[in-house]
Amino acid sequence: MADAGSMRPSLTHCWLGDAFLRDTVAAYFSRVPGTEKAALRGFRELEDWGWRCATEVHELGREAGLPDSEPKLVPSAARDERESAWRKVNPVDDGGARMELRTSDAWKALHRIAAEEGLVASAFERDRHAGGLSRAFQFAKLFMFNASSGLYSCPLAMTDGAARLCEVMGAGDPVLASAHGHLLSRNPDEFWSSGQWMTEINGGSDVGAGTETFSEPASGLCAADGWADSLLFGYKWFSSATDARMAFTLARERNEGGELIQGTRGLSLFYVEVRDAAGRVRDTIRLMRLKGKLGTRQLPTAELELVGVPAKRVGERGRGIAHIAEMMNITRLHNSITACSYMRRVAVLTLDYALRRSVFGRRLVDQPLARSNLAHFECHARASLALTMEAAFLLGRKEAHSASAEELGLLRVLTPLCKLYTAKQVVWCASEGLEFFGGQGYIEATGIPEILRDSQVLPIWEGTTNVLCLDVLRAMRVDKGRGALVLLSRAAEAAVRAAGVGREGLQGPAAAVIEAAEETKGRISGLLGSLRGDDEDAGLSWLKPIAFSLAKIFACGLLIDRARLPSNPNHLDTAVAQAYCSGVSNAPGSVELGHVDHSVAKRIVEGLVEAD
């Protein structure tokens, strides 16, 4: 892939070229006894996949991002003949102008590859990766795929969340069991993707207040829709997987007096089949328009009008948000691994460029200020991956029913922390990374502008940063902050272990982590205390700094733990731990590391060049 003759960015093998990823995955396999064979098999698969991602997937992703490949709405032909039986029983359906969605060949090819590679299925193949390792394995695959995937990562995230919902909610339900089979299929012709319709025009954060879509009992449905018990009416403001076969959504129900129940407790969860057996959008779902977006232009994000869509209520009446949270917690971790994937991409491309571009008589890689940039990119790429893979590992253990109560508490708080923190890191890295290429970074043909545009959505969808900070608080209220305290103790214990090995360079970072953990513990108790008292607003002003500190401290713990291992007497791991941990208390409420010592930055860059 190298393009030595020009300044165009070039890619490396996504597995063999990424020692940090390989070591991270190996460390998870070695934590679970008896997985040696699975590890060997898994690594072979990851190696093949790493090459496919850097070549075929990358080409398809670039093609999906071209203006000509953007999804389009086109008037639908021969629609009047369709579902005429259905229209007889649905007086609302006036048979108005219908549109159909057209996606590119590259997008469709990515769907097929995702099925073949089991990008969703592998998470659920728990026997293949015992002890909950299926999530760590799947996330390694996603990490290599996402930055190259032309955002096919987005429908896959929702598909994974939907598969988990089917698994959790679908016991004994043949409709959900069948959907589950399609969502996990490795046969591209059988594989379904899923949408997640939560946002309406009145607001996507406060879903309990903003949802106007309502359900009515279904009666007299045509035979084909015999599985449905409800009809949905409303307007969904953002649907990003509009090419999906199914969706999970929320709608309001009526009380015994026939009035719509307001607020969160009025919302139930519904399963919808968006398309018929031939793959055509149902007549009762109107594709109103595609969104004109800053980025994510590969993605068919549409507004949908629901005019009596057959649906099936899933779970308890009025528990829609609590139920769909299972899906959101999965998609939020997909958001994190996507952020990690882009950060690795920025780190790889900038290093490659720095080795080839000379300014003022020296290569960029030899210039102290540029080295500092490169060190920051590498630190962010590693910290975010360490954080997200730990969450994925815990998720795998939860799903395999092998997680302890402590691990479950930790996962609950770590999920929003990962999402909010990595999404901010990647926006910083994408912007700084683009600038690193000078004017070339601003040129579409390099693919760099797309990274910046597409990263910018990561702090918005699946819950904005403020909303996720409030979710961290929700988690802390439920367990009185225990999950957050476990997180801090684990980081502090890792720092104590690192200080104990007596390796030069780890003492200072270890002390910084221990101090930051103590300070944050105090802030949490202040925050929870203020919520019990009468100065809630003052307490809440600390929420964001606390959330960012928790994420940063936990990442420090993971990086320093890795640097101290006897198998890692590697100066690169130590230098990264030094750089990241030295910034642990800087700029609370932001991802910035602040000043990185020049000798540390130099060691990081030299380590990377050596490994290249």
Q: Is 467 in the site for ligand FAD (CB under 6 A)?
A: yes
Cα–Cα distance measured from residue 75 to residue 67, given in angstroms and rounded to the nearest whole number = 20
Residue type, 504: E
Residues of this chain, 206-245, that bind ligand FAD according to CB under 6 A: 238-240
Q: What is the DSSP string of 391-454?
A: HHHHHHHHHTT---HHHHHHHHHHHHHHHHHHHHHHHHHHHHHHHHTGGGGG-GGGSHHHHHHH
Cβ closest to ligand UCC, residue 474 vs residue 602: 474
How far, rounded to the nearest angstrom, does the alpha carbon of residue 433 sit from its chain's CA centroid? 21
Stretch touching ligand UCC by CB under 6 A, among 33-41, 125-133, 426-434, 463-471: 463-471
Residue from the set 194, 301, 549, 582 that interacts with ligand FAD by CB under 6 A: 301
Q: How big is the chain, counted in residues?
A: 612
Residue 194 φ/ψ, nearest 5 degrees: -130, 150
Q: Is 248 in the site for ligand FAD (CB under 6 A)?
A: no
Q: Is 471 in the site for ligand UCC (CB under 6 A)?
A: yes
Give the Cβ contact number of residue 508 at 10 Å.
Answer: 13
Residue from the set 460, 528, 531, 565 that interacts with ligand FAD by CB under 6 A: 460
Residue whose entry in the numeric block shows the structure tokens 């193949």: 125
Q: Which long-range contacts (CB under 8 A, 24 or more apart) does 545-548 make?
A: 545/588, 545/589, 546/472, 546/520, 546/588, 547/416, 547/417, 547/420, 547/421, 547/468, 547/469, 547/472, 548/420, 548/421, 548/424, 548/588, 548/589, 548/590, 548/591
Q: Is 440 in the site for ligand UCC (CB under 6 A)?
A: no
Q: Judge whether 413 and 484 are in contact, CB under 8 Å.
A: yes
Residues of this chain, 56-85, that bind ligand UCC according to CB under 6 A: none
Q: Judge whether 226 and 311 are in contact, CB under 8 Å.
A: no
Stretch touching ligand UCC by CB under 6 A, among 272-280, 443-451, 457-465, 514-522: 457-465
Cα–Cα distance measured from residue 385 to residue 388, given in angstroms and rounded to the nearest whole number = 5
Q: Judge whether 31 and 132 are in contact, CB under 8 Å.
A: no
**Site track for ligand UCC across 129-158, x = CB under 6 A:** ------------------------xx--xx
Cα–Cα distance measured from residue 195 to residue 532, given in angstroms and rounded to the nearest whole number = 39
Q: SS3 for 564-599, per residue?
A: HCCCCCCHHHHHHHHHHHHCCCCCCCCCCCCCCCHH
Residue from the set 240, 268, 446, 465 that interacts with ligand UCC by CB under 6 A: 240
Residues of this chain, 252-271, that bind ligand UCC according to CB under 6 A: 264
Q: Is 203 in the site for ligand FAD (CB under 6 A)?
A: yes
Q: Is 338 in the site for ligand UCC (CB under 6 A)?
A: yes
Residue whose entry in the numeric block shows the structure tokens 């030899």: 366
Residue 528 backbone zone (phi > 0: left; psi -120 to 50: alpha; other: beta): alpha
**Site track for ligand UCC across 206-235, x = CB under 6 A:** -xx---------------------------
User: Smallest gap, in angstroms, from Cβ of residue 416 to ligand FAD?
Assistant: 13
Residue whose entry in the numeric block shows the structure tokens 């380590």: 607
Q: Is 455 in the site for ligand UCC (CB under 6 A)?
A: no
Cβ closest to ligand FAD, residue 389 vs residue 473: 473
Please state, in angstroms and as integers, the Cα–Cα distance from residue 54 to each residue in 146, 151, 191, 608, following that order.
11, 15, 24, 19
User: Smallest gap, in angstroms, from Cβ of residue 416 to ligand UCC?
Assistant: 6
User: Smallest gap, in angstroms, from Cβ of residue 217 to ligand UCC?
Assistant: 25
By CB under 6 A, the count of residues binding ligand FAD is: 21
Residue from the set 141, 334, 344, 424 that interacts with ligand UCC by CB under 6 A: 334
Residue from the set 184, 427, 470, 605 that interacts with ligand FAD by CB under 6 A: 470
Cβ closest to ligand UCC, residue 357 vs residue 474: 474
Residue from the set 322, 408, 531, 587 that interacts with ligand UCC by CB under 6 A: 322
3-state DSSP assignment of residue 178: helix
Start-to-end CA distance of the chain, whole Å, equals 14
Q: Is 574 in the site for ligand FAD (CB under 6 A)?
A: no
3-state DSSP assignment of residue 541: coil
Q: Judge whether 309 and 272 are in contact, CB under 8 Å.
A: yes
User: Smallest gap, in angstroms, from Cβ of residue 158 to ligand FAD?
Assistant: 7
Cβ closest to ligand FAD, residue 214 vs residue 580: 214
- What residue 203 binds from ligand UCC, ligand FAD, none (CB within 5 to 8 A, per partner kind)? ligand FAD
Query: 372 forms bridges with which residues in the sheet?
Result: none
Cα–Cα distance measured from residue 572 to residue 608, given in angstroms and rounded to the nearest whole number = 7
- What residue 296 binds from ligand FAD, ligand UCC, none (CB within 5 to 8 A, per partner kind)? ligand FAD
Stretch touching ligand FAD by CB under 6 A, among 119-127, 140-148, 190-198, 382-390: 190-198
> What letter does residue 223 receive in the DSSP assignment?
G
Q: Is 204 in the site for ligand FAD (CB under 6 A)?
A: yes
Residue type, 463: G
Residue type, 90: N
Stretch touching ligand UCC by CB under 6 A, among 69-77, 197-205, 351-359, 573-581: 197-205
Residue from the set 325, 408, 531, 540 that interacts with ligand UCC by CB under 6 A: 325
Query: 3 forms bridges with which residues in the sheet?
Result: none
Q: Judge whether 307 and 296 are in contact, CB under 8 Å.
A: no
- What residue 334 binds from ligand UCC, ligand FAD, none (CB within 5 to 8 A, per partner kind)? ligand UCC
By CB under 6 A, the count of residues binding ligand UCC is: 29
- What residue 239 binds from ligand UCC, ligand FAD, none (CB within 5 to 8 A, per partner kind)? ligand FAD
Binding site for ligand UCC (CB under 6 A): 153-154, 157-158, 196, 198-199, 204-205, 207-208, 240, 264, 321-322, 325, 328-329, 331, 334-335, 338, 461-463, 467, 470-471, 474
Binding site for ligand FAD (CB under 6 A): 196-199, 203-205, 238-240, 293, 296, 301, 457, 460-461, 463-464, 466-467, 470
